[in-house]
Amino acid sequence: MAGRLRMLRNSRGDNLHTSSIDMSTTEVSFTSCAVECNNLAVKSVMQAYKKKRHIVTMPTKDKSVLYSCRHLKIKEGIEVTYLSVRSNEVVDVEELKSSIRPDTGLVSNSAVNDKLCVILLMEEIGAICRMFEVLFHTNASHALGKILINVKK
């Protein structure tokens, strides 16, 4: 009985979270925390796309993403490009465009910086990634429920 109640509570929460990002529960995988999610996203993508040997991220990204990038660099020879950090931590879209290469498998960035209270350019970054046909990962855990996020854009 306790397992059924927990499952019911979790499914209600799942529906709440997925509706806030304009997706269904069948399109989203839930993990126990942002660290687990970031590790899963970064490592899984790069291990699945064997010919893609390059990641673009920022040095101020979540430590879990930076550790995953460092692990992939050491263990699998993946190259990592760290975008410059501007004072407001907004990504320079021209630098992003010039950093994406034919072997780039992933661009990883946060939706917001909770320390600087900055909302980053998710739609613009997403459009650039679509243009270059590169997967885009964002940690939106600090933004969920606070700003409008539409993952389809």
Q: Is residue 70 part of a domain?
A: yes
Q: Compute the distance between CA of residue 39 and CA of residue 10 in angstroms, rounded to an integer.
A: 22
What is each CA distance from 58 to 13, 83, 110, 138, 152, in whole angstroms? 31, 5, 9, 12, 23
Cβ-proximal residues to 81 (8 Å cutoff; 6+ apart), any chain: 54, 55, 56, 57, 99
The number of domains in the chain is 2
Sign of the alpha-carbon torsion through 67, 72, 73, 74: positive
Q: Is residue 65 part of a domain?
A: yes
Q: Is residue 114 part of a domain?
A: yes
Residue 26 is predicted with a pLDDT of 59
Residues 29, 58, 143, 134, Cα dihedral to 10°: -50
62 and 120 share one domain: yes
60 and 1 share one domain: no
Q: Is residue 56 part of a domain?
A: yes
Domain span at 16: 1-30
Q: Is residue 12 part of a domain?
A: yes
Cβ pair 44, 31 in contact under 8 A: no
The whole-model pTM stands at: 0.73
Has residue 134 got a pLDDT over 80?
yes
Residue 9 is predicted with a pLDDT of 45
67 and 7 share one domain: no
Region 29-48: mean pLDDT is 83
The chain-wide mean pLDDT, for the chain, equals 75
First to last CA, the chain: 40
Region 77-87: mean pLDDT is 87
Has residue 17 got a pLDDT over 80?
no
Percent of the chain with pLDDT over 90: 32
Q: Compute the distance between CA of residue 121 and CA of residue 149 in angstroms, rounded to an integer.
A: 11
23 and 38 share one domain: no
